[in-house]
């Protein structure tokens, strides 16, 4: 039940803000009772603690509780707290609903609470089950989300207003499935300048997120007769699932201490494409070495295959020149996939593909049948935001901010757990903390126990890859500034005090 | 070539507005040359006439021509006009590109120019081919798009700003795949009030358009083992194609003078679902009679099937009370699909489904895997727009405006072509003008000849349905006010002066 509560609290946290706070909370509570997620008799957290978890005023929660008591959903008795009332016919939709939710987990996230994973031993005993656990993680260091509190609201609103006012009437109609020409024009210029992408507006397709783009590419490749798309040893299960969902096999590329192996004699030999995070391996953090970049492009040329380049955080590189996109090496064999989800915010649902000419027609056809997806005003606003330089200014500001956090992370870990190696720090919004072999589960349990949401590298390991690394994937971009220091302190508290280290700390 | 030009001009018209007009035009021209759509030696229209077609300043076009001449794409010689230069290696991507474009045609549209259709005879000779044809239709009465010039810009911008300013930080993150709770809450209230829909926020899924919703439902039905989804005799090929694309069969329901036949002994008998425009058949215009509404819901109950209710223009009904949504009859067996594409604008990409409880989990899972699709700020803006009453005000104003146009259409047709029956006029943004048997093609050719874009009912007839009706589908909502009267006059000019009429004019 503790686990259920945590999930429930986290769900509420996602949904319950804005003008209709109390009504929304009441809906969510009713729904949880109706679906059986909250069983009759369950004691609810105090209004004070739920309010704290949800970042609401305590009165909002107390009022919602009171109304639900009045409606008969809850009961309140002195000394026994607020509980779910006993009612007829609780609907048993719980399991299906949660399955759907799991399937619908956003990119970059994973189960909110860590469960023991068969095949990975841990010597540490879990905390005794009888004790209460914190209901919602108080600290969030999961990778995959930028600092949302830093969204440049005023600048975005200005761009939206300006673009909206200038928009021609036809912008409100059905449009080009590739996206607005205004946006594709400035994107082409930006990507060439910032990422070394060879981009022409007519080869760009605006989509609603990386996942949308990957789905379209997967469909097109499948209908071309491609059977396998090779993937890296570590990555997001969501992406792998999308490819298998499109009917594609996903042979896994092996890796060594320098990164992913892209030899033709390996799984690439039978693949029609390969999905890679070449500039910044997710989650391990390295850049594909130059010789392997050339090698994978050579493979694509020789075999007629495609490299699908997931450039999810290419804007953020701290210590040297950014690693240019692989796509520049051969625009006819590399599909470049970029997104505003890390550089700006996932809630905008703006991403883009730069396609080899040979794929444009098929991808547009696949996209057109589904829908046009991104609203025209948003596309125009983003075009204005990019074209006016506001995007560059934002990225520069965030790069400084994330870099400062990264430096604080490295310094704090060095102080509290000197033997813990931090790697993957040259770029991006996350780092990997190498743990002594066999201790990942233990550390994750301690993190959960301390109210810290964080993931282990083995959550990103493909099922067929043997577990050889233990470590934490720390998303230092995720918390707002106000929560960052306490999250970092909590992280340090759960790190092993004794020396650790793994073979793969050069990643 | 004349045809090619027309299409080309129309494409440009869709794309080429906004801040980078000339650059966009140049891109489009380069692309047309590169792809082979414009062959070497082809003479381009004069800058004056292309500017008129595209609604651009003549200088913009002349400058673009001059730059492309300088770049070597075009040549200009005194007395011979501007032509496509001869270049090495024109890429032969033309045919595939156009196939992709056709596949990607927006909902409610159809081939921009009418071609002879095998199986429908026409006694009239086409205009001699040697004469030049108008390049872009000057008048647009195709159904499927509302009057975009009436988009309530100031009100929308106000709602956007208000919602955006009040949005919590988490709105910029990954959200609930069902859509924002704020929007689902006000939608539930609105749909219950305006359309008689039994809607609870937790059963609503916000999607990026009707087509997106239908795709999700199609996937879910297919994975449940449904093999056939029955469709009406007339409708959009895009929707039928989406269902077959999902692996579903599409048996066609027969019809009589009262509308679609929904007897269990017919094609419904083997179907797992049926797609219907029950409130306002598209394109023929009738409402499904009450006994058949009950009948189709009874079928769904008895067979465990689903009715997919495409309520695309339910807000617009002129002479009596709106026909409430079928969904109210049985929310557990009817999937309600609504959209802002007709009531507001397609460019917003906002639509919604109200689902039977048994389908929520599966649809959310299917949607979540694809992507979250609608941007959170847009959803919040629409929630504010709905909640503030701005949507109701807009719909009321548009209802008056469309009704006035409808009355003008009926009066003009009565004056110019007294025997032409106008039907399907009680609701929506389009009407059907019945034509004498065998004359549809002739009238469509005359329309094209007069620069009027309009479609015949047979363009919406399913291929297996025998051609028994001839008529025009007139989208009187499409043109802006400034263009409406001239479009109407052109329409009257092409109608048969002699008496006509068909069996189905009660539709």
Tokens of B473: 């589908």
Tokens linked to A322: 């950014």
Q: Which A residues 111-150 touch B at CB under 8 Å?
A: 144-145, 148-149
Determine the length of chain A: 507
**Tens-level pLDDT at each residue, chain B (507 residues):** 332 322 233 333 223 334 457 777 777 777 777 666 677 777 787 887 777 666 677 778 887 787 766 556 777 776 678 888 775 333 333 333 333 333 333 433 333 332 323 322 333 333 333 334 445 788 999 999 999 999 999 999 999 999 999 999 999 988 888 999 999 999 999 999 888 899 999 999 999 899 999 999 999 999 999 999 999 999 999 999 999 989 999 999 999 999 999 999 999 999 999 999 999 999 999 899 989 999 999 999 999 999 999 999 988 988 766 678 999 899 999 999 999 999 999 999 999 999 999 999 999 988 876 566 788 999 999 999 999 999 999 999 999 999 999 999 999 999 999 989 999 888 899 999 999 999 999 999 999 999 999 999 999 999 999 999 999 999 999 999 999 999 999 999 999 875 544 433 433
- Does residue A171 contact residue A372 with C-beta atoms inside 8 Å? no
A376 part of contact set with chain B, CB < 8 Å: yes
- The tokens for B445 are 């050719």
Q: Nearest residue of A to residue B239 by CA position?
A: A369
Among residues B279, B274, B225, B277, which one has the least CA distance to residue B247? B225
Cross-chain Cβ contact A373/B17 below 8 Å: no
Q: What is the DSSP letter of A287?
A: P
Q: How far is A502 from chain B (nearest CA, A)?
A: 33
Nearest residue of B to residue A149, measured between CA atoms: B169
Q: Which of residues 34-93 of A touch B (CB under 8 A)?
A: 91, 93
Q: From A240, which residue of chain B is nearest by alpha-carbon distance?
A: B369
Q: Has residue A370 got a pLDDT over 80?
A: no
Judge: A157–B164 Cβ closer than 8 Å, yes or no: yes
Q: CB distance B27–A242 less than 8 Å?
A: no
Residue with tokens 């879990």: A126
What is the C-alpha to C-alpha distance for residues A282 and A297, in angstroms, rounded to an integer?
A: 20
Q: Which pLDDT score, from 0 to 100, does residue B367 have?
A: 84
pLDDT digits (tens, 9 = 90+) for A74-133: 777 766 788 887 753 333 333 333 333 333 334 333 333 323 233 223 333 333 333 344
Chain B partners of A362 at a C-beta cutoff of 8 Å?
96, 100
Average pLDDT over residues A272-288: 94
pLDDT digits (tens, 9 = 90+) for A450-485: 999 999 999 999 999 999 999 999 999 999 999 999
What local confidence, expressed as pLDDT, does residue B54 receive?
A: 67
The minimum CA-CA distance between B503 and chain A, rounded to whole Å, is 34
CA of A1 vs chain B CAs: smallest distance (Å):
22
Tokens of B288: 């499904």
What is the chain A residue with the closest CA to B97?
A361
B11, B19, B26, best to mutate vs chain A, most A CBs in 10 Å: B19
The strand pairing partners of A334, in sequence order, are A307
Distance in Å, alpha carbon of B443 to nearest chain A alpha carbon:
27
Task: Write out pLDDT tens, residues A388-406.
Answer: 999 999 999 999 999 999 9
**CA–CA gap between residue A135 and residue A38 (Å, rounded):** 14
Find chain A residues with C-beta within 8 A of B394's C-beta: none
Query: Minimal Cα distance from B17: which residue of A?
Result: A168
Report CB contact under 8 Å: B27, A181. Answer: yes
The upper half-sphere exposure of residue A468, i.e. CA atoms within 13 Å in the direction of its Cβ, equals 13
B32 contacts chain A (CB < 8 A)? no
pLDDT at A135: 54
CA atoms within 13 A on the CB side of B254: 8
- The Cα–Cα gap between A103 and A82 comes to 32
- Chain B positions in Cβ-Cβ contact with residue A367 (cut-off 8 Å): 104
**A482–B contact, CB cutoff 8 A:** no
Interface contact A166-B18, CB threshold 8 A: yes
- Which of A475, A458, A461, A434 has the alpha carbon at shortest distance from A232? A461
In chain B, DSSP finds a helix count (H) and a strand count (E) of 15, 16
B104 vs A: CB within 8 A? yes
State the smallest CA–CA distance between residue B195 and chain A in angstroms: 22
Helix/strand/coil percentages in chain A, nearest 5:
45, 15, 45
- Residue A211 reports pLDDT greater than 80: yes
User: What is the residue-averaged pLDDT of chain A?
Assistant: 81
pLDDT at A261: 97
- Tell me, what's the ipTM? 0.72
Q: Provide the pairing of β-strand A229-230 with A273-276.
A: parallel
* Closest chain B residue to A214, measured at CA: B370
pLDDT top residue among A110 and A411: A411
Q: Do B18 and A371 touch (CB under 8 A)?
A: no
For residue A20, what pLDDT band results from cuts at 50, 70 and 90?
low
CB of B483 within 8 Å of any CB in chain A?
Answer: no
Give the bridge partners for A275, in sequence order: A308
Question: Residue range A40-69: average pLDDT?
Answer: 75
A149 neighbors B169 (Cβ within 8 angstroms)? yes
Does the reported pTM lie above 0.90?
no
Please answer yes or no on whether A174 and B107 come within 8 Å at the CB atom.
yes
With an 8 Å Cβ cutoff, are B181 and A357 in contact? no
A498 confidence band (pLDDT: 50, 70, 90)? low
What are the residues facing A204 on neighbouring strands? A354
Q: Does B349 touch chain A (CB under 8 A)?
A: yes
How many other C-beta atoms lie within 10 A of the C-beta of residue B462? Answer: 16
Q: Are A177 and A152 in contact (CB under 8 A)?
A: no
Judge contact between B88 and B94, C-beta under 8 A: no
Q: Which one, of A480, A102, A79, A437, lies nearest residue B177 by Cα?
A: A102
Which chain A residues contact residue B349 at CB under 8 A? 371-376
Asked whether the predicted pLDDT for residue A72 surpasses 70, the reply is: no
> Hey, which of A26-40, A251-265, B106-120, B128-142 has the most confident mean pLDDT?
A251-265
Are the C-beta atoms of B209 and A371 separated by less than 8 Å? yes
B-contacting residues in A 178-197 (Cβ below 8 Å): 180-182, 185
Chain A residues 377-406 within an 8 A CB cutoff of chain B = 377-378, 380, 387
pLDDT over 70 percentage in chain A: 79
CB A462 within 8 Å of CB A132: no
What pLDDT is stored for residue B99 in this prediction? 36
- Please compute the mean of the pLDDT values over residues A496-500 and round it to a whole number: 61
Cβ of B212 under 8 Å from any chain A Cβ?
A: yes
Kindly state the DSSP code that residue A180 receives in the 8-state scheme.
Answer: -
Contact at CB, A172 and B14, closer than 8 angstroms: no
Q: Looking at chain B, which residue has its C-alpha nearest residue A184?
A: B24
pLDDT given for residue A372 in this prediction: 62
State the Cα–Cα distance between residues B143 and B505, nearest whole angstrom.
19
- On chain B, the residues whose CB falls within 8 A of the CB of A96 are 361-362
């Amino acid at each position: 039940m503790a686990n259920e509560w945590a999930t429930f609290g986290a769900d509420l946290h996602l949904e319950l803000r804005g003008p209709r706070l109390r009504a929304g909370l009441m809906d969510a509570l009713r729904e949880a009772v109706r679906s059986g997620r909250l069983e009759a008799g369950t004691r609810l957290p105090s209004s004070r603690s739920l309010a704290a978890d949800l970042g609401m005023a305590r009165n909002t929660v107390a009022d919602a509780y009171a109304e639900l008591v009045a409606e008969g959903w809850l009961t309140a008795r002195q000394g026994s707290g607020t509980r779910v009332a006993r009612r007829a016919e609780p609907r048993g939709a719980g399991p299906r609903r949660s399955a759907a939710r799991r399937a619908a987990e956003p990119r970059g996230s994973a189960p909110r609470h860590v469960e023991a994973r068969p095949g990975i031993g841990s010597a540490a005993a879990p905390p005794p089950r009888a004790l209460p656990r914190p209901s919602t993680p108080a600290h969030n260091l999961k990778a995959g989300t930028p600092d949302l509190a830093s969204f440049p609201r005023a600048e975005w609103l200005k761009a939206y207003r300006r673009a909206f006012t200038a928009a021609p009437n036809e912008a409100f109609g059905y449009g080009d499935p590739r996206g607005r020409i205004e946006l594709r024009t400035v994107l082409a210029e930006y990507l060439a300048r910032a990422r070394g992408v060879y981009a022409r507006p007519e080869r760009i397709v605006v989509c609603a997120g990386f996942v949308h783009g990957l789905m379209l590419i997967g469909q097109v490749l499948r209908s071309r007769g491609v059977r396998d798309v090779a993937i890296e040893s570590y990555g997001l299960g969501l992406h792998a699932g999308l490819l298998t969902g499109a009917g594609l096999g996903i042979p896994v590329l092996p890796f060594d201490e320098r990164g992913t192996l892209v030899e033709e004699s390996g799984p690439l030999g039978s693949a029609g494409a390969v999905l890679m995070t070449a500039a910044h391996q997710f989650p391990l953090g390295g850049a594909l070495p130059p010789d392997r970049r050339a090698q994978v492009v050579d493979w694509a040329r020789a075999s007629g295959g495609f490299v699908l380049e997931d450039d999810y955080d290419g804007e953020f590189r701290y210590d040297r020149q950014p690693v240019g996109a692989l796509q520049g090496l051969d625009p006819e064999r590399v599909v470049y996939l970029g997104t505003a989800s890390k550089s700006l915010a996932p809630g905008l649902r703006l991403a883009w593909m730069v396609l080899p000419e040979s794929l444009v027609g098929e991808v547009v056809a696949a996209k057109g049948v589904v829908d046009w997806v991104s609203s025209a005003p948003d596309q125009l606003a983003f075009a204005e935001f990019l074209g006016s330089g506001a995007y560059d200014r934002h990225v520069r500001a965030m790069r400084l901010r994330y870099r400062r956090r990264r430096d604080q992370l490295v310094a704090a870990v060095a102080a509290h757990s000197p033997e813990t190696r931090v790697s993957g720090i040259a770029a991006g919004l996350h780092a990997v903390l190498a743990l002594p072999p066999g201790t990942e589960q233990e550390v994750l349990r301690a993190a959960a126990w301390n109210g810290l949401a964080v993931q282990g590298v083995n959550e990103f390991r493909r099922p067929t890859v043997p577990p050889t690394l233990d470590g934490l994937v720390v998303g230092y971009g995720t918390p707002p500034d106000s929560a960052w220091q306490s999250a970092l302190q909590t992280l340090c508290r759960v790190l092993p005090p004794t020396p650790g280290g793994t073979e793969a700390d050069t990643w």
